[in-house]
Chains A and B, each alone.
Chain A
Amino acid sequence: MAVHTAEQLAHEHRRYLQVFVWLTVLTALELGVIKMPISGFAIGSMLVLLAGTKAALVALFYMHLSVEKRTLAYIALTPAVLCVFLVFMLLPDLGAITRALTHASPPPAAGEAHH
Chain B
Amino acid sequence: MSQAVVAEHEFGLEPAESPLTPESWGKLGMWIFLAADAMSFGGLLAGYGALRYGDPTWPRPSEILGIQLTAFMTFLLICSSVTMVEALAAIRAGDQAGLRKFLTLTIFGGLTFLSLQSYEWTKLIVHEGQSVSKNNFGATFFILTGFHGCHVFGGVTYLSAVLGRAVRGVSGAIIVAVTAVVGAIGMLWITSHMFNAFVGIGAALVVAGIVYAVTNALAAPGREVYDAHDNSEVEIAALYWHFVDLIWILVFTFVYLI
Interface residues of A (CB under 8 A from B): 1-4, 6, 9, 12-13, 16-17, 20, 23-24, 27, 30-31, 33-34, 43-44, 47-48, 50-51, 54-55, 58-59, 62-63, 68-69, 71-72, 75-76, 78-80, 82-83, 86-87, 90, 93-95, 97-99, 101-102
Contact = CB atoms under 8 A, between A and B. Distances in A.
B35 A79 contact: yes
A62 B242 contact: yes
B20 A27 contact: no
B42 interface: yes
B243 interface: yes
B119 to A, nearest CB: 20
Nearest to B85: A16
Q: Interface majority SS on B: helix, strand, loop or mixed? A: helix
Contacts of B238: 62-63
17 contacts: A1-B229, A4-B93, A6-B93, A12-B85, A16-B85, A16-B86, A31-B67, A33-B257, A34-B257, A47-B253, A51-B249, A58-B245, A71-B20, A72-B31, A79-B38, A86-B43, A97-B50
Given A9-B92, A90-B50, A68 B21 contact: yes
Interface residues of B, number: 57
A86 B257 CA distance: 22
B32 interface: yes
B65 to A, nearest CB: 12
